[in-house]
Homo-oligomer: A and B are copies of this chain.
Amino acid sequence: MSLLTVGSVAFDALETPFGKTDKIIGGAATYITLAASYFTKQNNLVAVVGGDFPKEMIGLLEEHGVSTEGLEVKQDGKTFFWSGKYHADMNTRDTLETQLNVMADFDPVIPKSYQGTEFLMLGNTVPATQKLVIERMAQRPKLIMLDTMNLWMNIALEDLHAVLKLVDVLTINDEEARQLSGEYSLRKAAVKIMGMGPKTLIIKKGEHGALLFQEDRIFFAPALPLEEVFDPTGAGDSFAGGFIGYLASTDDISFENMKRAIIYGSAMASFCVEKFGTERLVNLTEAEIKDRVQQFVNLSSFEIR
């Protein structure tokens, strides 16, 4: 089945305890489509960049089977830019600079050829824009997944609630789940958030794994303990891309298959953090992914007698 991802394609400048980058390619939709490309072959992208965005990178996305028909290039504009610095624990970071640039008035146009896409992934961006995308789909996708962040809870909560009513799967991190629900217990938080619209909730806990909630079912996927976390940027988006890419490729949205999808998503996130930016995500092999997923099986399987 086909996947449509809407979100940012951007420049990032990063500083981690392991080093510093100049402007490198980032953005939620970049990580999502790259991660999903290892699963689904119909990988559609709606995003906007400026004239400063390198053509080679667009070519690289296309090489990964990503359709860039929906990637608008505003020749006289500048690409969205974010720079951040990670703390020693790699779980927290400070934003040093955000330049919205062409994202400031992102008006997502869905190409005709994308209409009918079965799986829709709304990367983290302005909630009103995410809602607009859903409204612009001629028929409702089979599954709509949304990522968001604390910023929108602070400055656009009403819009966020409006779009939450329309989606099937929400992914947020643990602190955001607590903020959105006003509950400290993630189990209580999940019940409240699922009451806001999404029937399925994924709470990402970074190096502590991820929780999948649906009705009264809970599944926990560990994160792989890595020798080194080099750069956490894009981990959550790679996770989302692996998750929805796997769902789209199998066309199975049962809870059992979502459990598998979370493991694939976690595997993609574990690759992502091993190098700066998208470096590790752009040249994975099927054998590497299979081997990594097997590591998750080994890590978490046990048998009660």
Contact = CB atoms under 8 A, between A and B. Distances in A.
Given A263-B304, A304-B297, A222 B225 contact: no
Interface residues of A, number: 39
A204 B40 CA distance: 38
A219 B186 contact: no
Contact of A208 (B209, B227, B293): B209
A74 to B, nearest CB: 42
A75 interface: no
Given A88-B184, A293-B304, A297-B304, A225 B220 contact: yes
Contacts of A89: 184
A264 to B, nearest CB: 9
Interface string A216-246: 0111111001111100000000000000000
Given A185-B229, A187-B225, A259 B302 contact: yes
Nearest to A264: B304
A300 interface: yes
Copy total for this chain: 2
B187 A226 contact: yes
A299 interface: yes
A263 to B, nearest CB: 6
B302 A185 contact: no
Contacts of A220: 209, 222, 225, 299-300
A131 interface: no
A89 B262 CA distance: 26
Contacts of A85: none
Interface of A: 88-90, 184-188, 205, 208-209, 211, 217-222, 225-229, 256, 259-260, 262-263, 293-294, 297-305
